[in-house]
Amino acid sequence: MLDIADELTRWVEQGRDFAVATVVAVGGSAPRRPGAALAVDSRGTALGSVSGGCVEGAVYDLCVQALRDGVTVRERFGYSAEDAFAVGLTCGGEIEVLVTPVAAAAPDRGVWAAALSAAARGTAAALARVARGPSELLGRPLLVHPDGTYEGGLGGPPELDRAAAEQARALLDAGRTGSCDLAEDGSRCEPAVTLFVESSAPPPRMIIFGAVDFAAALVRAGRFLGYHVTVCDARPVFATRARFPEADELVVEWPHRYLQRTETDGRTVLCVLTHEAKFDIPLLEVALRLPVGFVGAMGSRRTHEDRNRRLREAGLTAPELARLHSPIGLDLGARTPEETALSIAAEIVAARRGGTGVPLTGSRRPIHHDADQRGSGAAGSPAAA
């Protein structure tokens, strides 16, 4: 639901009643991930999507019904083998949606408003709801902040709210959306409810080191993928706004010094494009010891071998060196800066999602999967996103 927070925030401000259908679980080759949402207001206006078109009509009707009767429902949609035009996912997967009415006069309207506002501003917060369990608990919002404090409640005992807040905070720390099972007393034994948590976190960072022509194209690709993109170079003549108008941030500083002082996390992507040892070696000494999501460096295979030798001499271990994607990018036969940026972006996505980089034609591996799922179809994906 938080993926359409901007529009829903306006609906809240306008005092509209609406119902929102959120994907809370997927299986197989489902087109949208958990957290995708379709909302319908009392005027019949719709926004968002839960399936890319397969079951939108049926989900729309569920939202209209939820607005009429004020009841939260959970519904499963799967492939209809008998009739490809029946209500079902023709891609062969399945999704489960939680349809929740959010009336203007509802007691928990303020919690919904706060969750949507936080997501629209890019502020870190997690929205937890019971997605499976007793009907009286379904859909009630619990908004959890990074410090562990929370607003609202799930409608069960206080122990359930406290346990849910702990689980939501853990997912928020990882920038993930996903599910977990809890007992109604908050324990993990004999689970009676399934908790669905949507994390709203600031966009992940992409830091590009080296203000070269390839960097300008990679800035555009990074922005397209939803990253907050920083370009860093020690040479002020190259790191200019005129050369990188689309970068979110420009930094003129020695790369390794900047990396030592700036904030990074497990979603951060570091792309080293300078391929000059005086910049690359001290930078990669720092980068490969940070718990970031991706570290890649540009250069020929000869440059890569020389770089690895220098890094070994600097004391980096084999596991640390194994984290380096070099030469950076997938083999697309790229030549131009734009093609090279596409190659790099493709490898970043593959590393993030657990992809192989091989053509889908002839492959029997599930098309839609995440790195931590290995094709299992379990709920959960990085936020961001």
The β-bridge partners of 55 are none
Residues 344 and 210 in one domain: yes
- For residue 241, the 8-state DSSP code is T
pLDDT at 175: 76
Q: Is residue 270 part of a domain?
A: yes
C-alpha torsion 101→107→108→109, nearest 10: 70
Whether 365 is covered by a domain: the verdict is no
pLDDT of residue 189: 53
Report pLDDT digits (tens) over 314-336: 999 999 999 999 999 999 999 99
Number of domains present in the structure of the chain: 3
pLDDT at 379: 32
Residue predicted with more confidence, 1 or 334: 334
Q: Amino acid identity, residue 288?
A: L
- 157-168, pLDDT tens digit by residue? 899 999 999 999
Residue 191 has pLDDT above 70, yes or no: no
For the segment 33-79, what is each residue's pLDDT rounded down to a tens digit?
A: 889 999 999 999 999 988 766 688 889 999 999 999 999 999 988 75
Same domain for 333 and 226:
yes
- Rounded mean pLDDT, 12-17: 95
Question: Quick one: average pLDDT of 272-287?
Answer: 93
Distances (CA, A) of 278 to 141, 273, 274, 285: 52, 13, 10, 12
Question: In the numeric block, which tokens belong to residue 248?
Answer: 């979110």
| pLDDT bucket at 188, cuts 50 / 70 / 90 | low
The verdict on residue 181 lying in a domain is yes
Whether residue 140 sits in one domain with residue 22: no
In a domain, 366, yes or no: no
Closest CA to 296 of 316, 323, 266, 317: 323
Q: Where are the beta strands (DSSP E) in 185-304?
A: 193-200, 205-209, 228-233, 249-252, 269-272, 294-297
Q: What average pLDDT score do residues 269-296 get?
A: 94
Q: Does 360 map to a domain? A: no
Report the predicted TM-score, pTM, of the whole model to 2 decimal places.
0.65
pLDDT at 383: 36
Domain boundary among 143, 173, 200: 200
pLDDT, residue 100, reads 95
Question: Are residues 190 and 222 part of one domain?
Answer: no
Mean pLDDT of the chain: 86
Q: Do 266 and 310 share a domain, yes or no?
A: yes
Residues 178 and 238 in one domain: no
Q: What share of the chain has pLDDT > 90, as a percent?
A: 64
Q: Are residues 192 and 129 in the same domain?
A: yes
Is residue 269 in a domain?
A: yes
Q: State which of 73, 102, 131 marks the end of a domain.
A: 102
List the strands of the sheet with 228-233, edge to edge. 249-252, 228-233, 205-209, 269-272, 294-297, 324-325
Domain annotation covers residue 260 = yes
Q: Are 277 and 306 in contact (CB under 8 A)?
A: yes
Q: Is residue 169 domain-shared with residue 302, that is, in the same domain?
A: no
The predicted structure's pLDDT at residue 82: 43
b/e 79-108 (16+ beta carbons within 10 angstroms → b): beeeeeeeebbbbebbbbbbbbbbbeeeeb
**% of the chain exceeding 70 in pLDDT:** 87
Q: State pLDDT tens for residues 98-136.
A: 999 999 999 999 999 999 999 998 888 999 999 999 988
Write out pLDDT tens, residues 77-99: 875 544 333 444 555 578 899 99
Please give the pLDDT value at position 380: 34
Tokens of 137: 């608990």
**Residue 54: predicted pLDDT:** 65
Residues 9 and 93 in one domain: yes
